[in-house]
Structure 1
Amino acid sequence: MASPHAARVLVASNRGPVSYTLRDDGELTSKRGGGGLVSGLSAIEGNAESLWVCAALGDGDRAAVRRGVAEDGVRMLDIDPEVHADAYNGIANSVLWFVHHMLYQTPLEPVFDAEFRRRWDAFRTYNRAFADALAAEAAEGAAVLVQDYHLCLVPGILRELRPDLRIAHFSHTPWAPPEYFRLLPDDIGAELLRGILGADRAGFLTQRWADAFTACCTAVLGGTGDTASTGGTTIAVHGLGADADFLRKRSHEPDVDERMAALRERIGGGTGEGPDGRRKTIVRVDRTELSKNIVRGLLAYRELLDTRPEWRGRVVHMAFAYPSRQDLAVYRDYMAEVERVADEINSRYATADWTPVALYLKDDFARSLGAYRLADVALVNPIRDGMNLVAKEVPVVTDHGCALVLSREAGAYEELGRDAITVNPYDVSATAAALHEALTLPDGERAERSERLAAAATALPPQRWFLDQLNALDPAAATG
């Protein structure tokens, strides 16, 4: 039964647009988030009654739910913390993320045993909590947009509860090819696919990921041809671009200028290589995800200094490696390896007035934007990435044009590959050569490539990305 104040457009995601912090004195403070979903949802505010359903992720969020504190248009679910931990860390981030990014060391992992099955039950419970909330809050015939791998069972459960709804699921990650997807137990793989196929539309960031999903449906569920394998579900591609207006405005605010001054000081000058007489810069900005390939990027930079000694003292690699999932041991170990390799490079090559690697581990968006503006080369070399917005953001923000070294395994490669210097992310030597090529691009060519990259990167801004999906699912919901 629908709520008496039912919403016509609903978004479901693990993380919501607002988070709460519980202070020592017991008071709650809130912080509004950003990103494509937040920007996209703003496109329908005022045109339709909308609701964002998300999980309470910490003590502050849970306290807000229990005290009845809520932001208009947001419903936060107080799911049992142990259930959430098993679903989020035990399955979503330790199994599904690893499958779709092809990260397993298969001689030893994965191991699908009784403990995995216990966690899978928690994942089902977590997904059902979302489906129940959406079913209760949705108006008759409402449009429901379910986000990402955390909630891939929701469409199927929700379809049984509310067959009247128009449901979409969107995958922000890559999708594994059948031969890798079938590492999963047969029944679990089938359950995942059928969960998404409960939606009217299944969306992906690139055609490559959409084709992989369809191939998995054929391999696991049987049938021949796209329609037979995916039933009545439409498989769609919606690329997500950078928010140019926001980035350009935000990157010229005073705090960014302050960060840039500090970065310039750390880079140092006097060589006349880069703008303003400073050294040239290779910039990367990532969460310390296993898939981001930060260690091989550092090794490629080390090889550049080894094989091209003329760059010693003339270039600085600014590596922004922000902590991610530090409650998982494998991520803590990876962060430690990033630091170890950076320290090793600095120990080997640093001089009195030059530190080759400037490693930043504390998340600071203003500082990242300052680095974007200063970058001569952006290094984006993931093992595998659904899209990678950093590759799109740097060309938009750069002050003087930036060369992009881009992994062919990033989703952004489909749109940006022609004007980027493309690399195999596993090939350290080829990546070192690509860095040299990028550093030596003539100024005019670098500026022209950067301009074309920026145009491609902003072709599908977040609001259009969201509204395209909504219009395809339910045109009346978008127009109000």
Structure 2
Amino acid sequence: MAHKSGDREKYGLEGSERINRNLIDKDRRIVVASNRGPLGFSEDDSGRAAARRDSSPVSGLFESLEHTPLTWVSGAVSATDRRAADELTNEDGAINHDLLPPKWRQILISTPRRVHHKFFNVICNPLLWFIFHRSWSPTFTPNIGSQEHDAWERGFRALNESFAKRIDSSGSDQQLVLLCRDYQLMLVPGLVRAKNRNALIHYSVDTPWPWPNDLRIIPEKWRREILASLLSADVVTLSSPADISTFEASVTEVFNGEPTIENSGRGLKIHSNGHVTTVDVSTPLLRANQLDPVVSNSSTSRLITQLESTANEHTFVTVDRAEPHKNVVRSIVAFGELLKKRPELVGKVRYLLFLTPGPSHVSAYKRLNEEIRRSARRVNDSARGENPVQVYMENNFYRAIAGLVVYDTLVSVPVIDGAARSVLDGSVINQKDGNLIVSDTSPICRALSESAYTVSYTDVEGISHAMSSAYDEPVESRQATFDAVAKLLEASSKENDVESALERLLSI
């Protein structure tokens, strides 16, 4: 049976008070640093910046700390954000808003547009993003020239320095407790540590960590700067046990084995320059409380009705970003192979893909979008007048949620991934007892290995066979999938990522 809203209390997802509040006293100040913050901004009818709660996973991650005083430092990532930094801040440069918990405030880091362009459009995406997701073909790309070196110094480092300076000045004599996340801010821990030796610093890596061969794509100086910064944190959390191994290999290679590395059970303790960094695996974030209101929203309900109005017996769904590492083209080709081998399924099955397009300035995304549409057309042209593959290339959160509600089978076969967001969200809100097809490189694969169809991301034949088996599986047997997810929900209630991270950090 699919999980419904009433299951949240059963699985312990209501607000937790597990943190020892005695550890959070007047002598400590908690600062969260991330690329995006809890408030996003858009232009209202008068042309002024208007605040809205951000729906990203990062924002929801900190809901359990809504009664804890904290300052959230985030980037002004758009022109409207920069306007909000000018129009909505108070005397100390912070935003206090009714949409925020009473004890929270948000500070926007607004840099000149040319600095942000170098930071994001040259270094972060695509250069670092593609490295972390193994999307470069290093025989040909990338080429790191004077533009990239300038962007590293005057974009990436400059913006990280702006974050670090504001974080360090966001309080007075209180001990700084910093919870930093996002690959865009990898230099922040080191910059903060250089000015504040007494700070407690936690850094969370939400992307996969690259193998040394992938990390070698960037200059050695940059590699050393990134890793030295992360090793200045007290705690570093990664997405999966596999990332622990790749992180250890990167540290060993870049520093020629100089740090002392101890295996501490589920993670590592790295001794470097008189400092000890604990490296651990973070707990997946399950957004049940955030998503329930979205599912019941009138816009989502209307879209759910539209998607359920067809006569298809079985709906395959992919919800993701249109990224090279998401492996979408292979999944479409595999669906086409399913219809070739089982032509009786034409008209009975469909494949819906809800894809958020990548940044238009990156040519790799343009080529990928064209190939996705081309692959979908090939399958549809062979389907005897039917159009079983439907691609929604748009930034429509409500339609994506509707897709997660109605799937019979969710297909997620990335080359590599960070949080497996659609698998986690879909398994919580799906109303069809849907089953799952996941690649063995997905971070969620180990938890769901006995109740999901596991495939190699290159194995088109294997993906097609899994689709056939998923179609044939009796509805009753899908309960195993939800049993596995229930275990994840229970584990999350006992070891919420942010709460457990804060407890460990404050106990140092």
Instruction: Provide TM-score, normalisation by structure 1.
Output: 0.90
Q: Does 1:44 pair with 2:65?
A: yes
Cα 1:454–1:370 change in 2 (3 A) is farther
Cα offset, 1:56, TM superposition: 0.7
- 1:112 pairs, out of 119, 144, 151, with 144
- 1:304 pairs, out of 316, 334, 338, with 338
Residue 392 of structure 1 aligns to a residue whose secondary structure is helix
Contact 1:40–1:467 under 8 Å retained in 2: no
Whole-angstrom distance in 2 between the partners of 1:368 and 1:130: 33
2:126 is aligned to: 94
Contact 2:31–2:177 under 8 Å retained in 1: yes
Residue 281 of structure 1 aligns to a residue whose secondary structure is strand
2:169 is aligned to: 136
Residue 251 of structure 1 aligns to a residue whose secondary structure is helix
Whole-angstrom distance in 1 between the partners of 2:403 and 2:490: 19
Cα offset, 1:173, TM superposition: 0.3
2:73 is aligned to: 53
| One-letter amino acid of the structure 1 residue matched with residue 118 of structure 2 | D
- 1:29 pairs, out of 50, 53, 68, with 50
Q: Which runs of 4+ in 1 moved over 6 A?
A: none
Alignment of 1:283-302 (within 5 A): 283-302=317-336
**CA shift digits 1:181-201 (9 cap, x unpaired):** 223222211111001111111
Q: Does 1:470 pair with 2:470?
A: no
Cα 1:443–1:289 change in 2 (3 A) is same
Cα 1:25–1:36 change in 2 (3 A) is closer
Q: Which runs of no fewer than 5 residues in structure 2 stay unpaired?
A: 1-25, 90-94, 98-104, 263-268
Q: Does 1:71 pair with 2:96?
A: yes
Alignment of 1:272-421 (within 5 A): 278-351=312-385, 354-421=386-453
- 1:124 pairs, out of 157, 160, 176, with 157
Q: Does 1:8 pair with 2:8?
A: no
Greater shift, 237-246 or 9-18, is seen at: 237-246
Whole-angstrom distance in 1 between the partners of 2:430 and 2:483: 10
Residue 459 of structure 1 aligns to a residue whose secondary structure is helix
Whole-angstrom distance in 1 between the partners of 2:494 and 2:58: 7
Q: Which runs of no fewer than 5 residues in structure 1 stay unpaired?
A: 270-277
Alignment of 1:180-191 (within 5 A): 180-191=214-225
Residue 37 of structure 1 aligns to a residue whose secondary structure is helix
Contact 2:405–2:431 under 8 Å retained in 1: yes
Whole-angstrom distance in 1 between the partners of 2:494 and 2:128: 25
Contact 1:405–1:421 under 8 Å retained in 2: yes
**CA shift digits 1:334-357 (9 cap, x unpaired):** 122212221222222152xx4211
Cα 1:53–1:91 change in 2 (3 A) is same
Cα 1:68–1:35 change in 2 (3 A) is closer
Q: Does 1:212 pair with 2:260?
A: no
Whole-angstrom distance in 2 between the partners of 1:188 and 1:461: 38
Whole-angstrom distance in 1 between the partners of 2:57 and 2:27: 25
Residue 442 of structure 2 aligns to a residue whose secondary structure is coil
Cα offset, 1:471, TM superposition: 0.8
Cα offset, 1:456, TM superposition: 2.2
Cα offset, 1:303, TM superposition: 1.3
| One-letter amino acid of the structure 1 residue matched with residue 485 of structure 2 | L
Contact 1:39–1:463 under 8 Å retained in 2: no
Cα offset, 1:461, TM superposition: 5.8
Whole-angstrom distance in 1 between the partners of 2:151 and 2:227: 18
**CA shift digits 1:354-405 (9 cap, x unpaired):** 4211221223333222222221100001111012121112122222311100
Residue 302 of structure 1 aligns to a residue whose secondary structure is helix
Cα offset, 1:429, TM superposition: 1.5
Percent identity of the aligned residues? 26
Instruction: Provide TM-score, normalisation by structure 2.
Output: 0.85
Contact 2:354–2:399 under 8 Å retained in 1: no
Whole-angstrom distance in 1 between the partners of 2:121 and 2:171: 29
Cα offset, 1:212, TM superposition: 1.1
Residue 349 of structure 1 aligns to a residue whose secondary structure is coil
Contact 1:39–1:462 under 8 Å retained in 2: no
| One-letter amino acid of the structure 1 residue matched with residue 81 of structure 2 | D
Contact 1:281–1:377 under 8 Å retained in 2: yes
Contact 2:60–2:290 under 8 Å retained in 1: no
Q: Does 1:226 pair with 2:261?
A: yes
| One-letter amino acid of the structure 2 residue matched with residue 173 of structure 1 | T
Contact 1:143–1:165 under 8 Å retained in 2: yes
Whole-angstrom distance in 1 between the partners of 2:169 and 2:96: 18
2:189 is aligned to: 155
**CA shift digits 1:176-234 (9 cap, x unpaired):** 11222223222211111001111111111211112211211011112265159652111
Cα 1:350–1:195 change in 2 (3 A) is farther
**CA shift digits 1:297-318 (9 cap, x unpaired):** 1111111112222221110101
Q: Does 1:452 pair with 2:473?
A: no
Aligned length: 459
Residue 454 of structure 2 aligns to a residue whose secondary structure is strand
Contact 1:6–1:138 under 8 Å retained in 2: no
1:272 is aligned to: none
Whole-angstrom distance in 2 between the partners of 1:82 and 1:418: 50
Q: In proportion to residue count, which structure has more helix? A: 1
Cα offset, 1:330, TM superposition: 1.5
Whole-angstrom distance in 1 between the partners of 2:475 and 2:252: 49
Cα offset, 1:132, TM superposition: 0.5
Whole-angstrom distance in 2 between the partners of 1:295 and 1:260: 25
